[in-house]
Amino acid sequence: MSNLKVSFLGLGVMGFPMAGHLSKAGYSVTVYNRTAQKAKTWLDTYGQSDAKVSACNTVAEACQKADIVFMCVGNDNDVREVGTQALKVMKPGSVLVDHTTASADVARELYASSKNQQVGFLDAPVSGGQAGAENGQLTIMVGGDEAIYSNVEPVMSHYARHSQLLGKSGSGQLAKMMNQICIAGIVQGLAEALHFGERAGLDCNSVIDVISKGAAQSWQMENRASTMLNNTFDFGFAVDWMRKDLSIALDEARKNGSTLALTALVDQYYSDVQKLGGGRWDTSSLLTRLK
């Protein structure tokens, strides 16, 4: 059992199980969620008789005694608002870890603010989706100071299969942008391949079984091809969230002068899916616009 006191701010589809893993690992966990009912549900789920868990009604109350504060919220505005509230009360020597997918700019802002408060800060967006969070198999891309990362990594390991420090503040968010750029292109390629195969009269399940053993193999092919062929999209990482992430990447590209032609195109394809009513469908729903 650890004596560390940790707080988790934001109990969405990712934060809820991530905070749960920390509780199961024996940490003293305090949670906060904007919708208080979600925090109550979390307590009902993880508040076993020997668990050291509690919920608070405000960010300040949840953070003032914490050694490490984790947050996983919605967007830049949420990160800035919740992070600022947390830093006002966090004790010197504590650490704020942001698992939200947000901009590198807001990460750098909070890093500077944390320094002024003698608090450590890591931008640490995650990849692996809801299933990865629930199974403790997330990949974490981290920006910040090495000494801070070394202290926090053992705690994050309870919900991650791999985490890596990639550079100074903002590097984690920039790496997550690369991750989403890769996913967008791969999913579109898979959607077009399945569309092509169906039009050609092939048994696409059999074809996928073959080509997934060769150079075309990808996580998306292994985990999404069968559901795409079954027109099942009511799960997974939502199109609305992906468009938020791609918007961040495209904005950063305009700043650094990189060319993201394919990413911009796929982002518009996701806009088509939203117009079909698929804002909450999984990102693999790109196939629907080809039907």
Looking at the fold, whether 151 and 80 belong to one and the same domain comes out as: yes
In the prediction, which pLDDT does 26 show?
93
20 and 158 fall within a common domain: yes
Share of the chain above pLDDT 90, in %: 97
Which of 141, 167, 193 is a domain's end point? 167
pLDDT the model gives residue 3: 87
Catalytic residue among 5, 65, 88, 176: 176
Specify the number of domains making up the chain. 2
pLDDT-derived band of residue 49, with 50, 70 and 90 as boundaries? low
Do residue 149 and residue 72 come from a single domain? Answer: yes
Q: 192-238 pLDDT, tens per residue?
A: 999 999 999 999 999 999 999 999 999 999 999 999 999 999 999 99
Among the candidates 145, 167, 189, a domain finishes at: 167
pTM over 0.85: yes
Could you tell me the residue range of the domain that residue 113 belongs to? 5-167
Give which of 58, 59, 106, 108 is closest to 87, Cα–Cα. Answer: 59
Look up residue 199 and give its two tokens.
């039009």
pLDDT digits (tens, 9 = 90+) for 245-270: 999 999 999 999 999 999 999 999 99
- 5 assigned to active site: no
Query: 53: which 2 tokens?
Result: 């868990």
User: Looking at the structure, do residues 138 and 201 belong to the same domain, yes or no?
Assistant: no
Q: Which amino acid is at 248?
A: I
* 19 and 125 housed in the same domain: yes
Pairing of strands 120-123, 126-127: unpaired
Do both 236 and 210 map to the same domain?
yes
Do 188 and 76 lie in one domain? The reply is no
The CATH number of whichever domain residue 126 belongs to comes to 3.40.50.720
Answer whether residue 1 shows pLDDT above 60.
no
CATH number at residue 259: 1.10.1040.10
144 and 272 share a domain?
Answer: no
| Angle CA 175–178–182, to nearest 5 | 145
